[in-house]
Amino acid sequence: MHRLSQLLPGLLFLCIFIVDTTAAEDHPIPDEYVYCTVCHGTLFKGNIATRAPKLTGLSAWYIESQLLAFRNGKRGNHVKDLAGLEMRPMAEMLSRNSVSRVSKLISALPSGLSIDTAATSNDRGQYLYNSCGACHGADGRGSQQLNAPNLVVQDSWYLTTQLNSYRHNIRGINDNDITGLQMLNASSILTSDQDVMDTVAYIKSLQN
């Protein structure tokens, strides 16, 4: 029994690797976009180690808008936005047509649940989310008309990082980034780390 308990972690990793590899074979990524998977993962499901968010589950219009924001210097230009600074030159490598193609490709991949589904709702988080819900919807699924992405498909660590980036004037400060400026204003209701944690916990509860 002790021997089996020692082997289980390795067996679990092997099973995940096999499933991921099989899934990757079912959804081959064109060579011109393979370098994107180095950070975002084989099927663009994100990687906390490289600070790369989960992209599956997001709409093509939103992925495209963010790639263009990086290409145009609206994102990834703050000295404290390390992940953004790394992403910006990657996006600049893509042509306008490539941005559109890869956005559609990613949005067509199976989404799956984000890795942290255990977060639960709380009254404080629900109250704070009211500001977010005006654009992202009561269900957190977003709205293209309001340029608001789906939040519930994203991992907690990334939501927390981005909300804190808005709080600390790292993201959304470019005068040409209209949606970023809107988000900067909307997130002003979050005045503490606990506010951010409660809001993210509530968003993740909407996934269920």
13: number of Cβ within 10 Å: 10
What is d(CA 190, CA 163) in angstroms, rounded to the nearest whole number?
A: 8
Burial, 147: exposed, middle or buried (Cβ in 10 Å; 0-12, 13-18, 19+)? middle
pLDDT at 208: 76
**Residue 28: predicted pLDDT:** 78
Find out whether 202 and 126 touch, Cβ atoms under 8 Å: yes
| Domain coordinates in residue numbering, the chain | 123-205
Q: What are the tens digits of pLDDT across the range 16-43? A: 333 344 345 566 788 989 999 999 998 9
Average pLDDT over the chain reads: 87
For 86-117, what is each residue's pLDDT tens digit?
999 999 999 999 999 999 999 999 987 665 65
Contact 148, 139 (CB under 8 A): no
Q: List Cβ neighbours of 159 (8 Å cut-off, separation of 6 or more).
A: 151, 200, 203, 204
State the Cα–Cα distance between residues 6 and 29, nearest whole angstrom: 35
Q: Give the Cα separation of 24 and 121 in Å (integer).
A: 34
pTM of the model: 0.83
* Assigned CATH topology for domain 123-205: Cytochrome Bc1 Complex; Chain D, domain 2 (1.10.760)
